[in-house]
Structure 1
Amino acid sequence: MLHQPERTVRSSRLWQPKRVLVTPSALARSHGRVIVERVEALGIPVERLASDRLPLERDSDARGYYAQAKSTLAVVVAPPSKLRLQPIAPSADWRVDLAEGCPAHCSYCYLAGSLKGPPITRVYANLDEIVGVLPDHLGRGVVTSKSAARAGEGTTFEASCYTDPLAIEHLTGSLSSLIERFGRWEADVQLRFTTKFAAVEPLLGLDHRGRTRMRASLNPAEFARFEGGTSPVGERLRALRRMAEAGYPVGLTIAPIIAAEGWQDAYGGLVAEVAAALGDVAAAGDLTVELITHRFTPGSKAVLRSWYPGSDLDLGEAGRREKRTRFGAVKQVYDAPTMSALRRFFETRLAAELPGGRILYWT
């Protein structure tokens, strides 16, 4: 049993959408009706649409259009493409989507330019159909299923690629349902999710049986201005510790690592804060670490500059190099000297202050 230090746990902020839409197809699903009941129980009115088309017309005021979209939740049915799971290296074998879109306001958001249409948060009502395709993927992945280094994780499913599932859990209950289903699934599997939020209370008492790993997505407090609407870093670390005390395997996603002025002191302070909060968890032998550097595409750069015109996040190309994905898309990553300096810093500092932490990958 992990030692639980004395602390005051205050309630994390919970997102309250200003507008909630539900399509007829979503209402026809039992989980869609559950979501609507949860939303209405919070006193949030729900618009029941006459068709499956979402009434989100583009406005000439780009900032107003963005603000309206980011404050909108839509309960919809996931399209057939979401039932054809995609690999999600280097994180996990397969991507399983519970939603698409996020209520946070991160000025580096990797979803910008990736998602089509307005940045509303779409949550999926056909959870049973999504879960129903998972068994077909057992043992078929390449990241953990067939990896000697990570084979102990079994077949892994990542639930936080196109959303932050904890940010919307109080509205959907989808993450809790999936965790419990993995707990009952007698197979060599692991559900994974990463979050910038701290409202873990609904998850603590679930019968997860160790088959779900939560990771806290972290950046130093000095860079909090790039992560609007999220829980403070200290809250995320306390939430991660509470999950570890509830028997969940846990980890860190330090991302995106930003090589801004003073980054060594900022990230050094972050690692020290993690060590103070979770050093004994790491020493127990199962704290994972994922290290992801900041990158952007031409499309995401254009979108982010329109969404956050006042941000001082460096989206210039000095100190960058082009990298092509396996699909031929171009993204800007840090140049080789910067990457080497960043990697050397993190590997050295983590080994010194979190010696039990296991780095899964660097990218």
Structure 2
Amino acid sequence: MTLHDPAPARAARPWRPRRVVITAAAREHAHGRAIAARAAGLGLPVEDLSGNRLTGENLAGLRHPDPRRAYVEAKNTLAVVVAPPTKLKLQPIPPSADWRVDLAEGCPAHCQYCYLAGSLTGPPVTRVYANLDEILGNLAAYAGRGGVTSANAERVQEGTTFEASCYTDPLGIEHLTGSLSAAIRHFGAWDAPVTLRATTKFAAVEPLLGLPHGRRTRLRFSVNPPGAARYEGGTAPLRERLAAMGAVARAGYPVGITVAPILPLPDWREAYAALFCEAAAALEGAPDLDLTAELITHRFTPGSKAVLEGWYPGSDLPMREAERSRKLTKFGSVKYVFPAELMREMKQQLTRDLAERLPAARVLYWT
């Protein structure tokens, strides 16, 4: 069984922001200067800000009253900044990992279901952090203290886990930042039971293949059948993501597939079964394969829906409250998920197909 894109997919081109700015404080860090130099080397104009805040005055257009216009301006802006002290106080990130570590905030992709909508305040500028040495040096204090995965008997072999893709896609901006490579090297040299985790919808893994990763970084690839591709603008085509997953697996990395967001497409049973077949083919021949799977259904909040409808007017992404079940999060906020019967059916079908076509995969969670 195979799947095919509904139309020939063009290879994903590296993101080229129209505007790159660097704050004064970021210029004081070697990694910040290196990011600016990378951008300049790609022919991108780099603008030095006199201060350390991103405001409507120094980033004109980001406060435009038309949310779509403000979105477009923000999505074409890369800001090199210093991570605030709050970023050094790590938070648990269940069910993925013990701790969330942010190398950046924001993403160059244009996913109509964007998980960041409603989570981050202000225009969706991609902010990359110049004080990377400080961020990585801070992690040792959290090793052995996790309560999400390292306290889970089924995942204890992963050690303390650090999730680097909660608020960004680190591979999608790696050609500009080099931050993911630096983090992989850091974990590879860290002689402790720890794991760096990163998820991506991109495929430019070549700079990562020869890194001394020490099998302490798990690279996961977010995938979905081609019927969902129209909701994932600016990302690598599915076939490229799967090929990239095979490449990093053959380079010795632990890998994973993140099936997200799971949608009940008209032919969802056949589509997801075919997806798993294609993933199995991409991983064929990978030595000592260490493979996980994370299964994440689509959900939305009133706030995220409002933001997304402003960003993507006319989208046919199914977000009708009457077709969903209303749930409360642990923080008391409202979210809309698929009805329980449909959730059970999809979970049974996908986990069964996954076990049949990718028996090496350990399912970490369904949510």
Q: Judge same fold: TM > 0.5, yes or no.
A: yes
The AA in structure 2 aligned to 1:23 is T
Q: Structure 2: how far apart are the matches of 1:40 and 1:20?
A: 9
Moved over 4 A (4+): none
Matches within 5 A, 1:8-27: 12-27=12-27
Q: Deviations over 1:243-269 (max 9, x none)?
A: 011111101000010123222222222
The AA in structure 2 aligned to 1:99 is A
Instruction: Provide the residue aligned with 2:345 in structure 1.
Output: 341
1:88 equivalent to 2:93? Answer yes
Q: Structure 2: how far apart are the matches of 1:334 and 1:64?
A: 32
Instruction: Provide the residue aligned with 2:264 in structure 1.
Output: 259
1:300 equivalent to 2:304? Answer yes
Instruction: Provide the residue aligned with 1:248 in structure 2.
Output: 253
The AA in structure 1 aligned to 2:128 is V
Instruction: Provide the residue aligned with 1:181 in structure 2.
Output: 186
Q: Structure 2: how far apart are the matches of 1:255 and 1:85?
A: 25
1:285 Cα deviation (Å)? 5.0
1:325 Cα deviation (Å)? 1.7
- Match of 2:273, SS state, is helix
Q: Structure 2: how far apart are the matches of 1:202 and 1:275?
A: 24
Matches within 5 A, 1:200-215: 200-215=205-220
Instruction: Provide the residue aligned with 1:39 in structure 2.
Output: 39
Q: Structure 1: how far apart are the matches of 2:288 and 2:30?
A: 41
- Match of 1:33, SS state, is helix
1:78 equivalent to 2:83? Answer yes
- Match of 1:167, SS state, is helix
Between Structure 1 and Structure 2, how many residues are aligned?
A: 353
- Match of 1:118, SS state, is coil
Identity over aligned pairs, percent: 62
Q: Deviations over 1:272-296 (max 9, x none)?
A: 2112222554x95521000000011
| CA RMSD, Structure 1 to Structure 2 (Å) | 1.4
Choose the corresponding residue for 1:314, options 312, 315, 318.
318
1:327 equivalent to 2:331? Answer yes
Instruction: Provide the residue aligned with 1:4 in structure 2.
Output: none
- Match of 1:216, SS state, is strand
- Match of 1:129, SS state, is helix
The AA in structure 1 aligned to 2:346 is L
- Match of 2:321, SS state, is coil
The AA in structure 1 aligned to 2:147 is V
- TM-score, with structure 1 as normaliser: 0.94
Q: Structure 2: how far apart are the matches of 1:77 and 1:284?
A: 39
Choose the corresponding residue for 1:98, options 84, 99, 103.
103
* Range 231-240 or range 131-140, more displaced: 131-140
1:192 equivalent to 2:197? Answer yes
1:208 Cα deviation (Å)? 0.6
* Range 315-324 or range 94-103, more displaced: 315-324
1:328 Cα deviation (Å)? 1.4
Instruction: Provide the residue aligned with 1:232 in structure 2.
Output: 237
* Range 54-63 or range 343-352, more displaced: 54-63
Q: Could you list the runs of 5+ residues in structure 1 that have no partner in the other structure?
A: 1-9
